[in-house]
């Protein structure tokens, strides 16, 4: 049975639209969270490749410019050799540093970025779940899917139902008696998924 809560702020249709908007926002957060790891991995890989390429090309380019400069200004050969040896040493040390520390640093930054972005997404979901209309529900949890609420709006808009409880009753009849109605009832809807996820996270922290 639906959870009945006094709500003077919204009429039934506006209330359903508010719930629908909140559920869509939860769905967006859920999708972002699912795609976040892949997105951060791509960014990290790009940064790692860029850093590696930079370390491979920078010193050789400097060495080329050193040779060109030495020819233009008649730099003594011994000085040129010393400069090239120093640059070669810097190049080797740079490659060693990149292999030992550079890649690890890029990965660590990627993990930090992942945690920060995940925290922002989770905070948005928590705010949605802890504020109206999702904190003062007039619709049972099992009906808090985008499809189900859209169906309730349809009942109210088409004047098949005069108020929310009647719309819920009509939807329940459809769920029992029609294939279309059964499809609108999701086993683990977005509200339940996000609520479960946030609850588990809060229990761990």
- Does 6 map to a domain? no
pLDDT at 47: 76
Q: What is the pTM of this model?
A: 0.71
pLDDT bin (cut points 50, 70, 90) of residue 182 is low
Burial letters for 135-148: b for 16+ Cβ neighbours within 10 Å, e otherwise?
Answer: eebbbeebbbbbeb
pLDDT at 184: 63
- Does 156 map to a domain? yes
pLDDT at 153: 93
Q: Which domain holds residue 187?
A: 12-198
SS3 content of the chain, % helix, strand, coil (to 5): 80, 0, 20
Number of domains in the chain: 1
Q: Is the pLDDT of residue 187 over 70?
A: yes
pLDDT at 126: 96
Per-residue pLDDT tens for 88-142?
778 777 777 777 787 788 888 889 999 999 999 999 999 999 999 998 899 999 9
pLDDT at 78: 81
pLDDT at 179: 66
- Does 106 map to a domain? yes
Per-residue pLDDT tens for 1-48?
344 433 322 489 999 999 999 999 999 999 999 999 888 888 888 777
Distance CA 111, CA 189 (A): 29
DSSP 54-122: HHHHHHHHHHHHHHHHHHHTT--HHHHHHHHHHHHHHHHHHHHHIIIIIHHHHHHHHHHHHHHHHHHHH
Question: How many residues are given for the chain?
Answer: 205
Average pLDDT over residues 54-63: 73
- Give the range among 38-47, 49-58, 163-172 with minimum mean pLDDT: 49-58
- Does 109 map to a domain? yes
- Does 5 map to a domain? no
Per-residue pLDDT tens for 129-158?
999 999 889 999 999 999 999 999 999 888
Mean of the per-residue pLDDT values for the chain? 83
Distance CA 58, CA 61 (A): 5
- Does 1 map to a domain? no
- Does 4 map to a domain? no
The tokens describing 172, both together, are 């329940």
- Does 190 map to a domain? yes
């Amino acid at each position: 049975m639906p959870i009945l809560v006094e709500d003077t702020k919204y009429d039934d249709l506006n209330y359903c639209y508010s719930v629908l908007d909140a559920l869509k926002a939860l769905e967006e957060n859920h999708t972002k969270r699912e795609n976040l790891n892949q997105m951060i991995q791509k960014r990290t890989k790009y940064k790692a490749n860029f850093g590696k390429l930079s370390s491979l090309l920078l010193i050789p380019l400097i060495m080329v410019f050193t040779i060109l400069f030495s020819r233009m200004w008649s730099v003594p050969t011994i000085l040129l050799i010393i400069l090239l040896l120093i640059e070669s040493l810097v190049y080797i040390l740079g490659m060693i540093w990149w292999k030992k520390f550079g890649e690890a640093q890029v990965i660590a930054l990627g993990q930090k970025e992942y945690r920060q972005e995940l925290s922002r997404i989770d905070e948005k979901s928590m705010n949605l779940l802890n504020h109206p209309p999702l904190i003062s529900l007039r619709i049972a949890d099992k009906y808090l899917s985008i499809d189900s609420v859209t169906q309730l709006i349809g009942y109210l808009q088409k004047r098949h139902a005069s108020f929310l409880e009647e719309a819920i009753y009509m939807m329940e009849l459809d769920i029992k008696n029609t294939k279309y109605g059964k499809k609108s009832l999701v086993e683990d809807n977005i509200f339940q998924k996000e609520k479960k996820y946030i609850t588990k996270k809060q229990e761990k922290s």
